[in-house]
Amino acid sequence: METPSPLRIALVGYGSMGKELERLAPRYGCVVEQIFSTQRPLQSAQISDFSFDVAIDFSLPSAVLSNVQILAGHGKNIVLGTTGWMAHREALGELVREKNIGLVWGTNFSVGVQIFSHLVRMAAEFANKFDEYDVALHELHHTRKIDAPSGTALSLAHIIQATMPQKTSLLTDTADGRIAPEALHVSSTRVGETPGTHTLYLDALPDTIELTHRARNRSGFAIGALRAARWVDGKQGMMEFSEIFPRIVQNQATTAR
């Protein structure tokens, strides 16, 4: 069987995630051809710098719209791992359609988080059949994280709300008093260097059920983003990572045979 050619990628943002992507790229059939950072911003790139296939953006929320405008203008497909940009979602969708590119975005590219999300959905579906159980979410991250609650926590909250329709509102601030029964409490803590922990609580008078995903390091996020980059190469449209994850799993199973 012929070995596929490495996917040529560009890293937009070269912090902890960018360095982890660079480290793991060869293991997942990718080669880093360009690195754009605060020292070498994408905005200063020359035409000759756009010979890569797919860009992976883990930069800053404030830079996302500009980055996508530039990359889409050069016809480049994108994996967007930065969070906190949802106010620009409509504008990004228009760029994707206008330039006929492919863009995969996600609140969390960790394969483990995708598995965890499916478990949360199943747990919420079961709990919804019993009036005794209430539900809450808590997330824990390092002190440098910009958004709170995390994008992952909000995605999990939306899964719960879709499964437990009685939770019609989100409470993301500190609860200073009694919480309304229709509110889903999503709380956040920022401390030290914690890479990311998300916990689902299902609580009733007889017992408490806790489901936790705890990231040990950033490699899980990088692996998912690299798999997404290989998947989106040559495709068009704006897609959320959780939507294409089953197809990535299927491709992985087929390749393993």
Q: Which CATH class is domain 111-214?
A: alpha beta
The domains of the chain are located at 7-109+218-256, 111-214
Q: How far apart are CA 8 and CA 28, in angstroms?
A: 11
Instruction: Say what the pTM is.
Output: 0.80
Q: What angle do CA 72, 112, 24 make, to 5 degrees?
A: 60
Concerning whether 141 is annotated as a catalytic residue, the answer is yes
Q: Under CATH, which number does the domain 7-109+218-256 receive?
A: 3.40.50.720
Residue-wise pLDDT tens digits, 168-226: 999 998 888 899 999 999 999 999 998 889 999 999 999 999 999 999 888 999 999 99
Which residue of the set 138, 141, 185, 198 is catalytic?
Answer: 141
Q: For residue 158, indicate whether it is catalytic.
A: no
Q: Which of 61, 56, 41 is nearest to 227 (CA)?
A: 56
Read off the pLDDT of residues 141-170 as tens digits, 9 standing for 90 and up. 999 888 889 988 999 999 999 999 999 999
